[in-house]
Structure 1
Amino acid sequence: MAQEAPWHIASKKVSAARSSQGRIMFSGCSLRYKLGDQLALKGVTFSIRPEERVGIVGRTGSGKSSLLQALLRVVELESGSISIDGIDLRKVGLHGLRRSISVVSQTAALLEGTMRSNIDPFGEHTDAEIDVAIRSCQLGELGADKWIEGGGRNLSTGQQQLVSICRAVLRRKDILVLDEATASVDEQTEQIISAVINREFKHSTVLIIAHRLQAITECSRILVMDDGRLVEQGPPSFLATRNGHYARLLRAAAAAGASPEA
C-alpha cells in the first residue's frame, strides 16, 4: 500500500500573524481517488480571503467534498497545489495541517465518555474554557460531566451535532469547514448552529459545503462545482440573477416544492 505523507515536518507550520491567517489558495488542482478512476477535481483554481465565509455547492458527485479531501490531504493531488497563508501544504506535516483546521461533518463523531472528554480529548483546556464553550452552544443543561454513549446514542441528532460544534468552538481554529453539517438537524438546531458560527467564528475563514442551498445564504461568496470543475463563483444575490448554474439549482429546488437543495 502507498504510504501516507510524513506526520510531522519540524521545519514547517501552518501559522502566521493573526491578520493574515486563514488565506486559502487552490491552484490548478486535479485529484483522482485511485489509479484508473476519472478525475474528481479537474484543474480547480480559486482563493479565499482571511475571515471570508464561502459556500460550496453543486449536485451529488460534483466535487464538493473532494475539495475537503484535498485540503486535508486525505487524498493527494495529482497536479496543482494548495496553500494556507502562502505555505504549500505538501511541505507541511499531516498532523500540523489537520490540527490547524476544524471540520464539522454531517455525522457527529462521538465516543463513549463524558462531554468533557468528547470536546477536549487531549485535555488542553481549562474547566472554565470548557464551560464557556458548552454554554455558547446552548448545551448547558448537559454540562461537562454528562456521560455520552458511543455514537451519542443517548443524545438527540441535534444535540450530537451541537457537541461537534462545541468541539470546534473550544479549539477555535482560523479555518472552519462545515461539511453538510446541518443536513440532518431540525430547523431550530440549524438556527442555533448558524448563530454560534456567526458569533464565535467571525474572525475565522469559514467554508460551508452544502447540499441544501438554504445553508449558504449568509455566505459572502458561493463556489459552484460541476463535474469536478469550478463553473461559477460570486455573491449569492448576484448569481441568483444570472442564468447560470446557481440560478438553475434554485429554480429546480423551487419547482420541486421543497427546501432548496443542490
Structure 2
Amino acid sequence: MPESIKRSPVFEQLESLLSGLPTIRACNKSHAFINRMYSKIDDHARCVWHLWLFNRWLGIRFALLGAVFTLIVASFAVYSPGVSASLAGLALSFSLEFTQSVFWVLRRYADVEMDMNSLERISEFCAIPTEPSDGKVPPAHWPSSGQIEIRDLMVGYSADSPPVLRGVSFACDSGSRVGIVGRTGAGKSSLTLALFRFLEARSGSIFIGGLDISTLALRELRERIAIIPQHPVLWLGTIRSNLDPFGAYDDTQLKDALERVHLSELVTPMDASSEDGEAYASGSPIPSHSCTLSMQVSESGLNLSLGQRQLVCLARALLSQPKILIMDEATSAVDMDTDAIVQRSIRSELKNCTLIVIAHKLSTVIDLDKIVVLEAGQVVEMGAPKELWEKGGMFSEMVKQSGERNLLEKLT
C-alpha cells in the first residue's frame, strides 16, 4: 500500500485526539487511544521501510545491470580495431551516465505514480454529483406569508435505501407554531432536510407561500428560510461577524438581538479586542461579564459553551425577522429556566413568523398551537397538545414516559 495512503490516518487520528482530548481523559481512555495511534504510526513506518527497501533493491539491480552494460561497451571498444582510445573513453563515460539516467527516470516515474494518489482523490471529488443550481427565482417578497403545506412526501437518503419519510402530509397556517415530535429515528430531522431540499423528494411535494419548492433555485430557497440547527455553527471572528456576516445591521440591533436571547451580559463597556480578549480566543473559558460584540470567537466557537453557541445562533436568526423559522433542538444544551425565557422571547418577537420546533423535550413544544407526532416516517397523530393528551394516543404515552410528566400534565 502506498506510503501516502498510510500517512493520512496518522494526521486524522492526531486531529481527532486534539479535538476530543477532554472527553478521552474524562472517560479514562487515554491508553486505548495511545495504542491506536501507535498502531497507525507502525503501519505508516512499515510502508516507509518497504518503500526504501524497494529503492535499495532497485538500486543494487540497476548497478549490476549498469556494470554488465559498461562491460559490454568496454569489450566492444577493446575488440573493435577501428575504435580509438579517445572514442572508447567517451563511450565508456556515456555508458555510465546512461545507467544512472535510466535509474533516476524509473525512480521519478514511481514517485509521480505515488503522488498521483492526490490527483485521484481530487478526481473522485469532482465526480461527486452536485446539487442543481437551476430553478426559478421567486418574487422578492416571497414568502409573504409563512404558510407551509406538505403533500404525501416521500424522502430517502439515497436511491438504494428505504424511504425515511413515507407519505407525510400536514399543513401549517401562516404565523402558527407547530411542534414535530417523535422517538429517535421517527424522521424529524429528515423532514427538516427535506424543507431545505438537502434531501430531494421521491414523490409528493412541499408548498411554501403557495410555491412548490422543487421548482425554486436552491440558493433562493435557503436564503428565505431561517434555521437554528441542533449543532450550532460559528466561525473564526468576532461576535459581531458571527451575528452579522454581511454587515447589514448596526450595533444597536445586534445588542438588541443578544438581549432578546438573554445574552446581554456579552455587551459591556469592556473592549474585548484588548489583550485579555485575545487570550480568550485560544480556547480558555470566557467570563460572561468580560465579553463584547468585538470579542474574538475561536474556530467553531470552542471558547464558548455549547449553550452560548446555541443562543448566538438564535440571535442571528432573530435578526433577519424570517417568515419561517425552523428550530431543530435549538436549545438542547440550555438549562430549563433559560430555555423557558428564550421560548417566551421567540413567541413575543416573532408573532407573524411560522415556527416549526423539532424537539425531544416535550416541555419545549407543549404550549404550541399544533403537535405533529411522527413514527417510522409517518404522521400518526396531529392536533393541539390538549386534544392529543385527552385522546390518549402516542403523544399521551410520550408525556407519561417523560421525566417532566408532572410539569407537562399541568401545562396541558
- TM-score of the superposed pair, with normalisation by structure 2: 0.59
1:190 aligns with: 339
Partners of 1:221 and 1:11 in 2: CA distance: 31
1:2 aligns with: 129
Of Structure 1 and Structure 2, which has the larger fraction of its residues in strand?
A: 1
Q: How far 1:17 moved relative to its partner?
A: 7.4
Runs of 4+ in 1 over 6 A off after TM superposition: 256-260
Any idea what SS the aligned residue of 1:43 has? strand
Supply the AA of the counterpart residue of 2:239: M
Structure 1 residues 31, 123: closer, same or farther in 2, change over 3 A? same
Matched, 1:31 2:136: no
Q: How far 1:259 moved relative to its partner?
A: 8.8
Q: What is the root-mean-square deviation in Å for CA atoms of aligned residues?
A: 2.0
Maintained 8 Å contact 1:12/1:91: no
Matched, 1:240 2:389: yes
Any idea what SS the aligned residue of 2:161 has? coil
1:174 aligns with: 323
Matched, 1:41 2:165: yes
Q: 2:226 aligns with which of 102, 106, 109?
A: 102
Partners of 1:152 and 1:189 in 2: CA distance: 20
Supply the AA of the counterpart residue of 2:401: A
Of Structure 1 and Structure 2, which has the larger fraction of its residues in helix?
A: 2
Q: How far 1:249 moved relative to its partner?
A: 1.1
Partners of 2:301 and 2:137 in 1: CA distance: 39
Any idea what SS the aligned residue of 1:159 has? helix
Deviations along 1:128-151, one digit per CA (max 9) or x if unpaired, are 322221222222222321211122
Which has the higher mean CA deviation after the structures are superposed, 242-251 or 40-49?
242-251
Partners of 1:75 and 1:11 in 2: CA distance: 20
Partners of 2:395 and 2:188 in 1: CA distance: 14
Maintained 8 Å contact 1:53/1:206: yes
Structure 1 residues 241, 170: closer, same or farther in 2, change over 3 A? same
Partners of 2:260 and 2:401 in 1: CA distance: 37
Maintained 8 Å contact 2:143/2:209: no
Supply the AA of the counterpart residue of 1:98: R
Partners of 1:233 and 1:36 in 2: CA distance: 30
Supply the AA of the counterpart residue of 2:394: H
Partners of 2:232 and 2:407 in 1: CA distance: 23
Structure 1 residues 25, 14: closer, same or farther in 2, change over 3 A? farther
Q: How far 1:182 moved relative to its partner?
A: 1.7
Deviations along 1:172-224, one digit per CA (max 9) or x if unpaired, are 11000110112222113212321221122111000000111111011010000
Maintained 8 Å contact 2:165/2:378: yes
Structure 1 residues 60, 259: closer, same or farther in 2, change over 3 A? farther
Q: How far 1:95 moved relative to its partner?
A: 0.9
Q: 1:70 aligns with which of 188, 194, 203?
A: 194
Q: How far 1:10 moved relative to its partner?
A: 5.1
Percent identical pairs in the alignment equals 36
Structure 1 residues 15, 226: closer, same or farther in 2, change over 3 A? farther
Deviations along 1:76-118, one digit per CA (max 9) or x if unpaired, are 0000110111101011111111111111122211111111100
1:141 aligns with: 265
Structure 1 residues 14, 239: closer, same or farther in 2, change over 3 A? farther
Supply the AA of the counterpart residue of 2:391: R
1:218 aligns with: 367
Following superposition of structure 1 onto structure 2, how do residues 102-121 of structure 1 map, counting pairs within 5 Å?
102-121=226-245
Highest Rg: 1 or 2?
A: 2
Name stretches of at least 5 consecutive residues in structure 1 with no aligned partner.
none
Q: How far 1:231 moved relative to its partner?
A: 0.8
Matched, 1:154 2:281: no
- TM-score of the superposed pair, with normalisation by structure 1: 0.91
Name stretches of at least 5 consecutive residues in structure 2 with no aligned partner.
1-127, 267-291
Partners of 2:401 and 2:260 in 1: CA distance: 37
Partners of 1:258 and 1:149 in 2: CA distance: 41
Which has the higher mean CA deviation after the structures are superposed, 138-147 or 231-240?
138-147
